[in-house]
Amino acid sequence: MLKMVGSSGQLSLGKKYAGKYFEIEQMEDGALVLRPMKVISESEAWLHEPEIQKKLLRAKEWMKENPPTETDLDAFLEQVKDRQ
């Protein structure tokens, strides 16, 4: 694909890429490398830290081994009452 930068300095990649983010790296020879990127908000970035990913994986494995069951509320209230 051959594209020309317009007089405004913009380069059109086509509608296929509309709304997407790219990291642009300029190489020593002047070449530009475009890498598609996903942007995550700071409030969600912690979810992608390696230690958190390990914990989430463990939680997922635990959920497979411990499927949800119906709770007997009367028995639960008795347990809570006994602990007080």
d(CA 69, CA 60): 16
Ranges of beta strands (E only) in 4-78 are: 21-26, 32-37
> How confident is the model at residue 67, as a pLDDT?
93
> How confident is the model at residue 5, as a pLDDT?
93
Q: Predicted confidence band at 1 (pLDDT cuts at 50, 70, 90)? A: confident
Q: Predicted confidence band at 82 (pLDDT cuts at 50, 70, 90)? A: confident
Secondary structure class of 67 (helix, strand, coil): coil
Query: For residue range 18-56, what is the model confidence (pLDDT) as tens digits?
Result: 999 999 999 999 999 999 999 999 999 999 999 999 999
Does the pTM surpass 0.85? The reply is no
